[in-house]
Structure 1
Amino acid sequence: MLELRRLRLLRELHERGTIAAVADALQFTPSAVSQQLAMLEREAGVKLIEKAGRGVKLTDPGLVLVEHADALLQRAALAEADLAAAAGDIAGRGRVAAFQSAAFKLALPAIAALRESAPRLRCELVEGEPEMALPMLALGDLDLVIGDEWDHHTWRLSDALTRYPLLRDPLMLVGSDRPLRELKDAHWAAGHPGMSWEESLRGVCREHGGFEPDIRHRSNDANVALALAARGLATTLLPRLVLGDDVPATPVPSSRTIYAVIRTADVRRPSTRALLAAIRDQLPAS
């Protein structure tokens, strides 16, 4: 009989790439991980792992087994969630990741509310963008992610994750009172290449302004872009959620959707449902 905890180690090795990374994530020693994987090989009766350079990789039988391990681990998680739902106990650990503005506006007040309504739930907050947080959620390192999906940068989620839209957040032009189509020669501030904010800014400028923006300043911190705009050093596009009431801004025909994502296996888990409900309670009245 294959042991479920050892199957999880195999799945973790496949996703994380090294025994050291698995050990760090699961708070084991590398030698303990290697020992458990060796025991799994004996249970399976075939070689599951082989050396590859200075590291290791899964053999063909190992890749076959890891597919079954994914399904078995999801079923086990569903069983745990159903047991918790039957007991109705909101307890354990609730690990939330959120990008900066959502952490301030949604996650922090939700955690404060849960301290009163669910005192046995240990809430933990990590600031992080969806690019980092969603893989961590899939691996079980997080329990809920507050992410954003921009009109020009969308996410494709696996069936193992379930998304709940929270609100639409319009994109605003900051740092200029001129129409977007007149800002071809402006200096722009945006996120780093490949990030949702940067790709959306480029898409809006191309589609609605007819030009490729001259991005002079890059930071994934919206406060840096706001400071540049306030000093007349840059123009930028930012979601309304990150702007104070005193920031002059003009809407552009684009927006992002802010959403919560959980593991599908945890849909009925009381602690996850409590996290989601507390975050929804922080949404502005429509």
Structure 2
Amino acid sequence: MLELRRLRLLRELHERGTIAAVADALQFTPSAVSQQLAILERETGVTLLEKAGRGVRLTDPAVVLVGHATALLDRAARAEADLAAAAGTVAGRARIATFQSVALQLAIPAMDALRTHAPQLRTELIEAEPEQAIPALALGDLDLVLGDEWQHQPLRLPAGLERHELFDDQVQLATCERLRDATFSDLEHEAWTTGHPGMAWDEMTQRTCRELGGFEPDIRHRTNDATVSLALVARGLAVALVPGLAIPQEHPGIALRSTGVTRRILAVVRAADAARPSVQALISALRR
């Protein structure tokens, strides 16, 4: 009978690439990981690992076994989730990852509410962009990721993850007071601020300027912190398209107007864990 813990180590090695990375993620020593994988080789009777430079790589039979291991581990996780749901106790550890604006306006208030409604649940917050957080969730390093999906850029999830839509966030055009009455096309020759190249915020800004104004924006300032962009806007140094969640209630020196552009805020979890009371409690708190 193959042991699930050893199968998980093999799957982790397939995903993470090195024994050191597996050991670090699972809080084992590298020698303990190697020892358990050697036992798994003896149990299966086939060679699972072969030398590759200073490290190791999986053999073809090992890759086949990883596919079965993934299915078995998923079934085991679903069984644990169903048992937890039957018990009905909201407890344990919940690791949440998201980015700044959603953390401030959504994650932290939800965690505060859970402190009262689910005192046995330990919540942990990690600031991370979805591009890094989603793979970590799939690997089991996180329990829930708060992400976003733009109209022009659907969020693609790896197998085994599922999405829970929370609400739509309205994107605002932010200018200084001097430009309050300017039309969108009037802003062609203004300086713009947005996210770094390749980020969804940057792509949304460029696409919206083309579609609503008919021009390519002169992007002079790049930051993934909307607070920095809004400070530039308030001083008349730039204009910006900013999601509503990132805009504080008090924003002196800044004029706002709706654009009709939205992003959808999502909670992403592992499908095998969706029935867990802790995950259900998190999603319910985020919807309040």
Secondary structure of 2:188's match? coil
1:266 to 273, 278, 285: 273
Q: CA deviation at 1:19?
A: 1.2
Q: Decide whether aligned partners of structure 1 residues 114 and 54 sit closer, same or farther in structure 2, where only a CA change above 3 A counts.
A: same
Residues 1:39 and 2:46 are matched in the alignment: no
Aligned to 2:287: 280
In 1, distance between residues paired with 2:46 and 2:19?
Answer: 19
Greater mean deviation of Cα atoms: 201-210 or 124-133: 201-210
**Are the counterparts in 2 of residues 134 and 145 from structure 1 also a CA contact under 8 Å?**
yes
Aligned to 1:228: 232
Structure 1, unmatched stretches of 5+, are 282-286
Q: CA deviation at 1:257?
A: 0.3
Question: Which letter maps to 2:263?
Answer: R
Residues 1:249 and 2:253 are matched in the alignment: no
1:10-49 map, 5 Å: 10-49=10-49
In 1, distance between residues paired with 2:64 and 2:81?
Answer: 27
Aligned to 1:105: 105
In 2, distance between residues paired with 1:199 and 1:55?
Answer: 39
Greater mean deviation of Cα atoms: 109-118 or 204-213: 204-213
Structure 1 runs (4+) deviating above 3 angstroms are none
CA offsets 1:139-174 (integer angstroms, 9 cap, x no match): 111111111111122211134111111111111111
In 1, distance between residues paired with 2:256 and 2:221?
Answer: 19
In 1, distance between residues paired with 2:190 and 2:8?
Answer: 52
In 2, distance between residues paired with 1:192 and 1:228?
Answer: 16
Secondary structure of 1:124's match? strand
Aligned to 1:206: 210
Aligned to 1:120: 120
Identity %: 63
Question: Which letter maps to 1:194?
Answer: G
**Which TM-score applies when normalising by structure 1?**
0.94
In 2, distance between residues paired with 1:245 and 1:84?
Answer: 40
In 2, distance between residues paired with 1:264 and 1:185?
Answer: 48
CA offsets 1:185-217 (integer angstroms, 9 cap, x no match): 221111111111111111111222222222111
Structure 2, unmatched stretches of 5+, are none
In 2, distance between residues paired with 1:91 and 1:75?
Answer: 21
In 1, distance between residues paired with 2:166 and 2:191?
Answer: 33
> How many residue pairs are counted as aligned between the two chains?
281
**Which TM-score applies when normalising by structure 2?**
0.93
**Are the counterparts in 2 of residues 81 and 268 from structure 1 also a CA contact under 8 Å?**
yes
CA offsets 1:11-64 (integer angstroms, 9 cap, x no match): 111111111111111111111111111111221222222222333222211111
1:55-74 map, 5 Å: 55-74=55-74
**Are the counterparts in 2 of residues 159 and 264 from structure 1 also a CA contact under 8 Å?**
no
Question: Which letter maps to 2:257?
Answer: T
Q: CA deviation at 1:180?
A: 2.1
Q: CA deviation at 1:100?
A: 0.9
CA RMSD of aligned residues (A): 1.4
Secondary structure of 1:184's match? helix
Aligned to 1:80: 80
